[in-house]
Every structure is written in structure tokens, then in C-alpha cells.
Amino acid sequence: MEMSIARDVFTILMVTAGAFFFLAGTIGLLRFPDTLTRLHALTKADNLGLGLVILGLLPWANGTLAGLKMIFIWLLVQFAGATVAQLIARVVRHGETQP
């Protein structure tokens, strides 16, 4: 009985924290003045929010393989997101140096 209450509390805490980081990322997206700063807010805050949400959902996964799949998704998003942020920043810089 305590295990299921503890599990529920853990999930609610983690998912709420993740949603808070999504909110912070979106506020940053809306309020930051520049493309580069908005890119920063988007990739960092949203990825962290996703990680917390996945952490909160791990107790509900359908077995070890499903849990590993969710962690793999998060790693893929982290990896691709970081590299794509670099690429988009290059596009911005390239646009600024072009006449």
C-alpha cells in the first residue's frame, strides 16, 4: 500500500516538475528578444522538462524493455537537440554575416 502511494507521489512530483520546465521554456520562447536566446531556452528547458516527465513515467512502464525504450527516446532527443541547436545557430550566424 505504501509502495503504490509512494509511486503515485513520485510520479506526480516528477511530472509536475517537468511541466514546470516546459512552462519555463515556453515563457523564454515568448519573452526572449533574440533568436539565439530563444533557441537556448527551447533546447535546454524543454529537454530537461522531457527528461523529468520520462523519469516520472518510468514506474508505469510495461516492463524493463519499455522503460529502457523511454530512456532511449530521451537520450536521442537530447543528442539530436543539442546538435540541431548548433546547426540552427550556424544558420543565424551565417545570415548575419551575409549582406
Q: Which residues sit at the interface with other proteins, rule CB under 8 A?
A: 8, 11-12, 15-16, 18-19, 22-23, 25-26, 29-30, 35, 38-39, 42-43, 46-47, 49-50, 53-54, 57, 60-62, 66, 69-70, 72-73, 76-77, 79-81, 83-88, 90-92, 94-95, 98
DSSP 99: -
Q: For residues 40 and 30, what is the distance between their CA atoms, to the nearest angstrom?
A: 12
- The answer to whether residues 55 and 38 touch, using CB atoms and an 8 Å cutoff, is no
Q: Shortest distance, CB of residue 1 to other proteins, whole angstroms?
A: 15
Helix count and strand count (H, E) for the chain: 3, 0
Q: Shortest distance, CB of residue 78 to other proteins, whole angstroms?
A: 10
- Toward other proteins, which CB reaches closer, 6 or 79? 79
Closest-CA residue to 34 (of 98, 80, 97, 96): 96
- The answer to whether residues 22 and 45 touch, using CB atoms and an 8 Å cutoff, is yes
Q: Shortest distance, CB of residue 3 to other proteins, whole angstroms?
A: 14
Q: Shortest distance, CB of residue 27 to other proteins, whole angstroms?
A: 9
